[in-house]
Amino acid sequence: MIISLAQMDAKAGLPAENIKTILSMLEEARNNGSEIAVFPELCVGGYLVGDRWLEDDFLNELLSMNEIIGKAAGSLTVVYGNIAVDFDKRGNDGRPVKYNAAYVVQNGKTSYEAKTLLPNYRIFDDRRYFTPHPPEKRKLFSADGKKFGVTVCEDMWSNDYDTDPVIELINEGADFIVNISASPWTYGKNNARDRQIRILENKSGKLIPFYYVNNVGVQNNGKNIITFDGDSAVYVDGDRVHAYDLDPYEQGIIRIDDSSFLSGKETRDLPGEIEQKYNAIIRGIQGFDELLGTWNPNYIIGLSGGVDSSLVAALMTKALGKERVKGFNLPSRYNSSLTKDSAAKLASNLGIDYRIIPIEKMAEINQEILKEGDEEFTSLIEENIQAKIRGTSILSNLASIHNGLMTNNGNKLETALGYATLYGDINGALAPIGDLTKEEVFAMSRWLNEKENIIPEELLPDDNYDFIIPPSAELKENQRDPIKFGYHDKLITYLMDYRKKSPEQILDWYLEGKKGFCERTGITEKIFDIYTLGDGKVFTDDLEWFIRTMRLNIFKRIQAPPIILLSRTAFGFDLRESQFAWQPTQKYLKLKKRILERR
């Protein structure tokens, strides 16, 4: 039997465009001799369409596409994802009951199986829109004398649920399982999927083939740009079978002849973490640009001469081409010749349009106007004036002049600490590196430079985080970023991880001693010493500053642009934040007391 896995770029909210793709891929499957063609979850309308799932006219539009697919199927068995609606029933919200369904077309008849396990964590809101599979026996379908069951995405990730759809289908006599997915990419997801298939095999005690097809492309939830890398494959004896891969993010048909499965499991040869995140950012930028339709805007970047804006410029250029990227250096009297030279060098390396617009006169005029009152005029106000001139007065207007959009150059650590000025640095249409820690920014810059000399080396630190050009906002004399590089990066990773660590756990680690703490956090003992973390008061003061600063700056993140999702928890709608001050627990205070008593 020949099966085509149609790894498809489903466009959210564009069913007419998706139908064209589906029909084209059906024709390809028919021509390659397939008996079954399988498409991803909700491939007709896209997965992340927000509250459009609550619009009856949109639902009817999607439902009308079932007839088109049914007529086009011919002799093929077609499995695909679309909404199913029971307009005669009402859900808890008073609206018609909706199912995230896998449709199966066979011999001119169409039926569906509803998704059972509805994820309601991270970026997922399935329970807001969909009803789970009714409490009735699951269907088995037949092809080439074999029985198969159909599941939808989360139905295979059943470890934390009371119900296991895959095991139920195997127990009912399925000879193979088909899973249709719209599974977002984050680092580690590919290997996690392989492990999950082996878990299902061990639970079932049976070895049956598992056909998995995933979406590719880019969708969004308003605050996060989410990429789908595909990774469609067939698993036999619990192992991924070799020779069925498309490239990450590549749309196409994977033709599988089940009579010629290769023996032995596939040896994964995934790129390293930084390269995978680079690929996701590039596809995320391109996908965001595609969402704008036929506009094709230019992208305006404030090139400060620092590593963050340099990396953003490099990523935008690699994703969209140098013709659509324009860099502007906006120096005041505080900007050094080193950073100005660095910005010019970066622009030259990329071959992008580059201009210098000094802001000192504008800063002086703004200060003169604002000083007419009796209010106290602090250094911080002067700093913020410069940042707002750059972002609001100049870059936003340059975007209009050049028919374009601004980028946001903030990294994850700056976003966490609010080390940016609202309406100054915190603006723009897209934050390409908003889910990269500063440590990862340095690592990605080095990785790029190994291939092509792009990022000025003087911006990159040595292993002890010594710099030729120290990171600085350059908004006052001798300013340096108040960040413990290499350590705060680890803190934000652990405090935000999907299985996040609490401040109390960080203190517990510290009580294990220097070696234990370094092993737990992944920092070197040299970094531990550089930042004097062996002093319990220094350590606890810094931790509390970090946590309070994170909490204090939630209001900035609420107003920040969308971030490309890369990690197990990104700012945006991946991490749901409510504004309130941090208050240490009784446990925290007891642990802190133990630490300070050891001094």
Biggest distance spanned by C-alpha atoms of the chain:
87
What is the helix (H) or strand (E) element at residue 23, kind and residue range?
helix 15-31
Per-residue pLDDT at 376? 76
The 3-state DSSP class for residue 209 equals coil
pLDDT value, residue 204: 86
How many Å apart are CA 486 and CA 463, to the nearest integer? 9
Name the β-bridge partners of 4.
37, 255
Residue 341: its H or E element: helix 337-350
- 217 close to 11: Cβ distance less than 8 angstroms: yes
C-alpha 254, offset from chain centre: 25
Contact call for residues 385 and 367 (beta carbons, < 8 A): yes
| CATH superfamily, domain at 282-597 | HUPs (3.40.50.620)
* Parallel, antiparallel or unpaired: strands 404-406 and 298-302: parallel
Q: In degrees, to the nearest 5, what angle opens at C-alpha 178 toward C-alphas 174 and 184?
A: 145
DSSP string for residues in 446-498: HHHHHHS--S-GGGS--TT---SS-----SSTT------TTTHHHHHHHHHST
Helix-, strand-, coil-residue percentages of the chain, each rounded to 5:
40, 20, 40
Task: Identify the three-state secondary structure at position 425.
Answer: coil
Q: Count CB atoms within 10 A of the CB of residue 349.
A: 18
Half-sphere exposure of 324 (CA within 13 A, CB side): 19
pTM > 0.85: yes
From CA 397, how far away is CA 62, in angstroms rounded?
Answer: 40
CA-to-CA distance for 145 and 192, rounded, in angstroms?
Answer: 32
- Over its length of 599 residues, how does the chain's per-residue pLDDT go in tens digits? 999 999 999 999 999 999 999 999 999 999 999 999 999 999 999 999 999 999 999 999 999 999 999 999 999 999 999 999 999 999 888 899 999 999 999 999 999 999 999 999 999 999 999 999 988 889 999 999 999 999 999 999 999 999 999 999 999 999 999 999 999 999 999 999 999 999 998 888 887 999 999 999 999 999 999 999 999 999 988 888 865 678 999 999 999 988 766 555 566 788 999 999 999 999 999 999 999 989 999 999 999 999 999 999 999 999 999 999 999 999 988 878 888 999 999 999 999 999 999 999 999 898 888 887 677 778 888 888 999 999 999 999 999 999 999 999 999 999 999 999 999 999 999 999 999 999 999 999 999 999 999 999 999 999 888 887 777 665 666 667 778 999 999 999 999 999 999 999 999 999 999 999 999 999 999 999 999 999 999 999 999 999 999 999 999 999 999 999 999 999 999 999 999 999 999 999 999 999 999 86
Tell me whether residue 11 is exposed, middle or buried, using C-beta atoms within 10 angstroms of its C-beta: 0 to 12, 13 to 18, 19 or more.
buried
Tell me, what's the pLDDT at 10? 98
Contact 415, 560 (CB under 8 A): yes
For 359, phi and psi rounded to 5 degrees?
-115, 5
Neighbours of 13 (CB within 10 A): 15
Question: How confident is the model at residue 470, as a pLDDT?
Answer: 74
Query: Which 3 state secondary structure label does DSSP give 225?
Result: strand
Strand ranges inside 359-423, DSSP E: 404-406
Q: What pLDDT sits at residue 482?
A: 78
Q: Which residues of 70-107 are buried (b: 16+ CB within 10 A; e: fewer)?
A: bebbeebbbbbbbbbbeeeeeeeeebbbbbbbbbbbbe
Q: Which residues of the chain form CATH 3.60.110.10?
A: 2-260
Q: CA-based Rg of the chain, rounded to a whole angstrom?
A: 27
CATH number 3.60.110.10 is the correct assignment for the domain at 2-260: yes
C-alpha distances (whole Å) from 385 to each of 363, 367, 558 are 7, 8, 21
